[in-house]
Amino acid sequence: MSRMRIIHTSAINTAYRTPWAREHLEDYYVKLAHKDGYRCRSAYKLLELQQRFHLLKPNISVIDLGASPGSWSQVAADIIFKTHRQLNNTLIAVDIQPIDHINNVTVLSGHDMTLDTTRDKIKSLLPSGVEVVMSDMAPSPTGIKDIDNHKIIELCRIAMSLAKDVLVDDGAFVCKVWQSSLSDKLQKELSDSFKSTQLVTTKATKKGSREKYIVSRGFKVLGRGKYL
């Protein structure tokens, strides 16, 4: 599938003057994303999770939280709309930051997931629940580990709450964490609602990063009530 590339030569030449930019542009996954037409390197994190866990399938519905600039939604759209889009087949991409148009994707830019109005709007767009909720949300880091750990877990809990409201039976939930005692506690809580949970590091995660993904599968819808 052909995709519009968003990195321009003039911007690269200018940015390349800084050490951070040189490291970024020489990054293997940045180069690969540019070559493959993905909007950023994080596409390969989801591709690896997909290869390992087979979360995404044709003709299912998915919510992508923290979606900007849209690389996870690009990956998901390629899989779930592989044949054609069905009437009840939905991919919703949500972020407080801008997200450019992606074919077949319902884009909610400028939407704050901490607000009830955003969560209510997402639910109103879903005909019959979703099979996968995935969250790549992360706060702007302060550099103070305890504060950052609490902030990202708060976002995970918001995503988890939405997932519990909208997932169909046996659905899946993925969320990004920075590994800490708080993320361990969250994983344990998720194990009460899902048949399996795993803490995963992807190959595309930068060296030295505490970034992990909690992959939870087999949602136990019993006890929540039927999704309406």
Catalytic residues: 176
CA distance 214 to 210: 13
Q: Quick check: 61 and 125 in contact, CB under 8 A?
A: no
Q: Which of 69, 164, 170, 77 has its CA nearest to residue 119?
A: 164
CA distance 161 to 119: 10
CA distance 128 to 112: 23
CA distance 6 to 205: 22
Q: Quick check: 68 and 99 in contact, CB under 8 A?
A: yes
Q: Quick check: 69 and 89 in contact, CB under 8 A?
A: no
Q: Quick check: 67 and 137 in contact, CB under 8 A?
A: no
